[in-house]
Chain A
Amino acid sequence: MALLEIEKYSITYDGLRSAVDNVSFHVEEGEIISIVGESGSGKSTLLHGILGLLPRSAATRGSLRVFGKEIPSLSEAEQRAMRGVDMAVIFQDTGRYLNPIGRIGKQFWQYLRVHGNYTREQAHDLAVERLKRVHLTDAERVLNSYPFELSGGMRQRVGIAMAMALQPKLLLADEPTSALDVTIQAQIVRQMMELRREYGTTIIIVTHNMGVASYMSDRIGVMKNGRLVEMAPAEELIYSPKDQYTRSLLSAVIELDDERMA
């Protein structure tokens, strides 16, 4: 059984146009999948659908199963029980999802208490361990900090550490490096690849950065106007893309060894 099975899945907001249009694909355990596309292609909406975080106004069709469970048919409580434990998410700017006036340590504890009976000490020890895993060796200082005291790259690592606290099998990442500087982006990309190596985490990353997608993924899916126009092993998609849009998207990416315009 695939870890994630999406069959003819559509999301509409107004009942007319589909933000996600008849998308089908499977994700096997331990895979890293990238969904790429330009703004408005529906890639983030799809991710929210997998998470069960669509607004009430959204209507879905088709089937979306995570670990064999049909997400749209689950109750709110059942979905909440899955999030954090079975699947977790990191967003573009973790800082925006942290409480600005709470220390990281306290928020880590609050996050864990949603999912189990953690004492302050247990939460602290787990947090230290997870922060060290994401190469924040001075974990005590990080836990004692407020979000604004950390750099964007550090906050993103805190977000990954928190998402990975309960070792979910599936990690969803929505433009996780898009707000970061290139040197920090490289660090976060490495970090996510380490997760798979160490925990066997399955990762679905939504990004507009073709370079990041190419570096990280086993397979890449290309979305346009809500449709998945092509999905293929990364090598194949990059070196012999079949779809016309994939080709034009790839040719628009400016690379370091491109011919100069000047």
Chain B
Amino acid sequence: MGRPDGQLVEEKVFKDPVHRYIHVRDELIWELIGTREFQRLRRIRQLGTTYVTFHGAEHTRFNHSLGVYEVMRRMVENLEKKMTWDEDERLVCLAAALLHDIGHGPFSHSFEKVFGTDHEDWTRRIITGDTEVNAVLSRMGSRFAERVADVIGKTYENKLIVSLISSQIDADRMDYLLRDAFYTGVSYGNFDMERILRVMRPQEDQAVFKLSGMHAVEDYIMSRYQMYWQVYFHPVTRSAEVILSRILHRARELMRGGYPFRQEPVHFQSLFSETLSIRDYIRLDESLVLYYFQEWEDEEDPILRDLCRRFMNRHLFKYVECDPSKQMLIWPELQELFRKIGLDPSYYLIIDSSSDLPYDFYRPGEKDERLPIHLLMPDGSLSELSRQSDIVEAISGKKRTDHKLYYPRDLLEDQSEYAEEKRRILTLLHAQEGS
């Protein structure tokens, strides 16, 4: 199928609703897409539990990874007009873009929080370990796989390449904003990506943007800001996420305590015992997790059963806004009341904070903290974006912290038992919200 120069005899295209077409010309990329580790991404949703809020958000990490590859391919094509580019570096860039999420597991944000796993570590292990992906990459040379892993891990010596895939404005973010907006059906994630790519200029450490393209970059920043609050940080999605992580905690606790599961979670055993191999990890996907959750709806353990039923049937926890400085005054009483009515507060009274979210929005930050977006001024100097843009400056300094307290309101409103305690709990929770 391939030619001596590593190009496919005939270009392959994937039809894509965001970028119209995804073009594959390199044999390397085509073969990577065909590996079992990459195909597994079809069974992992890009937005985890967001589908319970926005029913269209069923797109997967497979779609997104192809999208990031396509954005990177276009970036490289544009940059090649402005700088000399080593063919080998071009392939490292494209492979890194395609594989940047290869280490994500099912509902990976919750899994990482509960089990301390890190999808970036798994990405490196899958790229450099005994896998089909590694076998394909190794054909390009002995250090090729290592270089791809270094780009994704942001430790590659060519910082320009790193910044194209991981910075404040990169191929990854550009694809997921457009893609997530498309699949959730919201209208505010859109921006003019073509314009941004056209005004992108390579520098030693990062790509910068011509001042004339500032408004396109502003639009991207606004999209990121709006998607953060309207989609990524939606309180209903967070409720599903809270319940999901509690299920995982409960299942692990039961397993460690020798609980006799009706449906033994054999696929999670090495995860629970922290002896997870690449082979075990690759077998984990969302179909498998949801299979167990469905089975656990009939478990004897009342907490696991209840949480799984809630998750599977979208019978989620409600929430009140939470101010930690006031919360601390009522927290001991709330916990005691929950115990009194037979609800374990570590499963039924949960604070979720904005810092728990794996998304952020732009702010310039402190010198040497992380690289801000720079504009290329007409005199050749660089200027940080918020110093030129009133719009970006206005949202950079805005409050973006938020805490919510999640609880099972349905159980508290059923006052056939412990009516007095439940009324007191509801009073405390609502006083918190109203204060």
User: Are A and B a genuine interacting pair, yes or no?
Assistant: no
